[in-house]
Amino acid sequence: MSTQKVESQAVKAAKALATQLGQNPTMTEGACLLSLPELSGTSGRITLREAEMRVDGHTVTGQSVRNGDLEVFPASELQPFNTLRIAAKRIIAQHSVELGGKLFLCPIKRLDVVVFELEELKNKFDQELASLKLRYDSILEAHKKKNPSVAHLIARHQMVWDEFVKPFGFKLNPVLAVSPLMGDVDGMAASAADQLWKELAADARAQHRTSIAGKEGVSQRAVKALLKIRDKLINLSFLHSGIDRFVDEMNEIFISLPKTGEVKGHDLLKLSHLVLFLSNEENLRLAAEGKYAIPQPDEPEVEEPEDIEAAEADEVTWEEDVPFSTDEDFDPSNVHGFDEFQIPPPSAGLEVLETGWGSF
């Protein structure tokens, strides 16, 4: 059964902004500013103020030495919320470039995708929290049974659900326009481009390390990961006039690769050259400026099939109308100017070489 995506008002508004863009928007026209969602929660741990610690066989107390960390609620049950926090940053980073100060420059034509995916994460956050509420008491009891030596401390510091849940939240911040009141817009674009090269190079290095290095063949999944790098360049092309030319070079390589199955042999060599090129931010900058093209490996030499008939014809050439020799040609009496001779027997001092069949 297919699930239909339900668009929120925020997604619809983002799409409406995208339809108003011209063919070649400037940074202020074609981009917006995003900040990471505010995900909050609890670690499930507390510090016991009066706890004692054993060091070198001695009991130590005091503010300078602390080791009274108590896990009141198991951290493993809180891991899904940390996973969602990481996923939120990944979504924004995939389509945007970081400006610093937790702000990201996002192309407006990708804003609807980013907003929709972040809203999906918020829904998952709410679902995880609802599931945790249903299991909260049973999780605490199991935790105390698993740690009987500190069960009384867990019981003393555990909270009722309404108190425990207060720190949890998932807040989506508003989208801001790119309209600096002070400073140079072009300088902002150049700074964002520099950050884009750094992010793409880091992504390429990670991709090479995990999917390509030391492999004799890579899957289409690895190719798709590199296509995401290309797509990010396309979406942020307003940052540098040379990005489109650079993307065209990348597309020539992608078009030449097989669309199904593993990428092997010379195709893998081309892909490796591309990834290693992308792994260096200076290469990206020079390529955008038109000063450096993506290097390509030499095409493999193809051996021409041998023309067997021509080769056989060239092996031996007979002169026409030349009669074969007769026995009389080898009659010693017909040889003039030479004395008769005899082949000496082995006893005459010559060494006989036993070379076997085919000796000569």
| Per-residue pLDDT tens over the stretch 79-97 | 999 999 999 999 998 899 9
> Which helix (H) or strand (E) element contains residue 248?
helix 243-256
Count CA atoms within 13 Å of residue 23 on its CB side: 0
| CA torsion through residues 264, 269, 270, 274, sign | positive
Paired with 40 in beta bridges are 169
Residue 245: which of 235, 234, 253, 255 has the closest Cα?
234
Domain hosting residue 202, numbered range: 185-288
Q: What pLDDT digit, counting tens, does each position of 306-322 carry?
A: 555 554 555 544 444 54
User: Is residue 54 included in any domain, yes or no?
Assistant: no
* Residue 62 is assigned to a structural domain of this protein: no
Q: Is residue 259 part of a domain?
A: yes
Specify the higher pLDDT residue, 56 or 194: 194
Distances (CA, A) of 204 to 100, 183, 197, 213, 308: 21, 32, 10, 12, 49
The C-alpha atoms of residue 30 and residue 97 are separated, in whole angstroms, by 14
**Residue 183: which of 358, 27, 7, 11 has the closest Cα?**
27
Nearest residue to 238 (alpha-carbon basis) of 279, 178, 169, 163? 178
Residues 107 and 22 in one domain: yes
Helices 265-278 and 281-288 meet at what angle, rounded to 10?
A: 90
Among 288, 311, 340, identify where a domain stops. 288
Are 163 and 196 in the same domain?
Answer: no
Q: Is there a contact between 109 and 32 (Cβ–Cβ < 8 Å)? A: no
User: Is 90 exceeded by the pLDDT of residue 177?
Assistant: no
The 10 Å CB-count burial string (b at 16+, else e) for 34-59 is bebbebebbebeeeeeeeeeeeeeee
Regarding whether 230 and 83 lie in a shared domain, the answer is no
Of 123, 142, 177, at which residue does a domain stop? Answer: 177
Looking at per-residue pLDDT, the higher value among 209 and 333 belongs to 209
**Statement to judge: residues 92 and 159 lie in one domain:** yes
30: in domain: yes
128 and 194 both lie in a single domain? no
Are 196 and 173 found together in one domain?
A: no
Residues 249 and 163 in one domain: no
Q: Of 177, 208, 228, which residue constitutes the final position of a domain? A: 177
232: tokens are 């990010």
Residue 15 belongs to some domain of the structure: yes
Res 317: pLDDT: 47
253 and 116 both lie in a single domain = no
Query: Of 96-110, 123-137, 211-225, where does mean pLDDT reach its minimum?
Result: 96-110
CA angle, 170 then 171 then 175, to 5°: 145
Same domain, 99 and 220: no
- The answer to whether residue 313 sits within a structural domain is no
pLDDT digits (tens, 9 = 90+) for 123-174: 999 999 999 999 999 999 999 999 998 898 889 889 999 999 999 999 998 8
Tokens of 97: 């470039």
Residue 12's pLDDT band (cuts 50, 70, 90): confident
In three-state form (DSSP H/G/I as H, E/B as E, the rest C), the secondary structure along 264-309 is: EHHHHHHHHHHHHHHCCHHHHHHHHCCCCCCCCCCCCCCCCCCCHH
In a domain, 154, yes or no: yes
Q: What is the mean pLDDT of residues 108-127?
A: 93
Q: Mean pLDDT lowest for which of 19-28, 135-144, 273-282?
A: 19-28
Whether residues 15 and 157 share a domain: the answer is: yes
Specify if 55 maps to a domain.
no
Domain count, the chain: 2
Tell me, yes or no, whether 168 and 206 share the same domain: no
d(CA 207, CA 204): 5
- Supply the pLDDT for residue 271: 92
3-state secondary structure of 97: strand
Based on the fold, state whether residues 202 and 251 are members of the same structural domain.
yes
